[in-house]
Amino acid sequence: MPFCVAIDGPAAAGKGTVARAVASEFDLAYLDTGLLYRATGAKTYEGLSPIDAAQSLTADDLARDDLRSGDAGQAASRVAAIPEVRAALVDFQRAFARRSGGAVLDGRDIGTVICPEAEVKLYITATDEVRARRRHAELIASGEDVSVEEVLENLRERDERDSARAAAPLIPADDAMVIDTSDMTIDEAVKIVAQIVSQAMAARV
């Protein structure tokens, strides 16, 4: 029977790291839905319209090595505000969420739009300053020359754009459990989420 774990939250809150770890621990398929939008945004730099980019997305596009850059993140946020782009990617995400064997999806509208009937719904967040430091460390490690202040400004701009958009805004599902990772290590956050998933699985037996 399909079992879906929906993990939403803003950039650099830790949701991707937690989602991958939990998927591995419970042998569930994992989808970083943000990659779909990052890849779509990246293709717009090649001259495609956002809608055409979304409709022509392939597995190779998701394997690009530039999808974790700051530019890709900003492009993802811009194209994600376009209803036609979101519509083009919804079916893929929903099919993945209900695949045999279960799945973990992380993004910004998994628990509210993509899989509102998910067995586990979480909203992982952290303070702006903590998220900026985390993202700054990632970008520096990947070779980008950027200040913490610039990263913080970009994160806040993206948060505002993602939260204010008419199509699937970044908000917690009404029944999502909110987890603030500001003062947690990754291991602590993973342990908490794993306990929640384990309890939900046991309740279905």
169 annotated to a ligand binding site: no
Query: Quick one: which of 66, 169, 163, 155 has its CA closest to 111?
Result: 169
Distance CA 78, CA 165 (A): 10
Give me the sign of the Cα torsion angle 60, 27, 169, 71: negative
9 annotated to a ligand binding site: yes
Distance CA 169, CA 144 (A): 29
Q: Would you call 76 helix, strand, or coil by DSSP?
A: helix
47 annotated to a ligand binding site: no
Distance CA 113, CA 130 (A): 27
58 annotated to a ligand binding site: no
14 annotated to a ligand binding site: yes
166 annotated to a ligand binding site: no
173 annotated to a ligand binding site: no
11 annotated to a ligand binding site: yes
16 annotated to a ligand binding site: yes
Return the H-helix or E-strand segment holding 106: strand 103-107
Specify binding-site residues: 9-17
Specify binding-site residues for ATP: 9-17
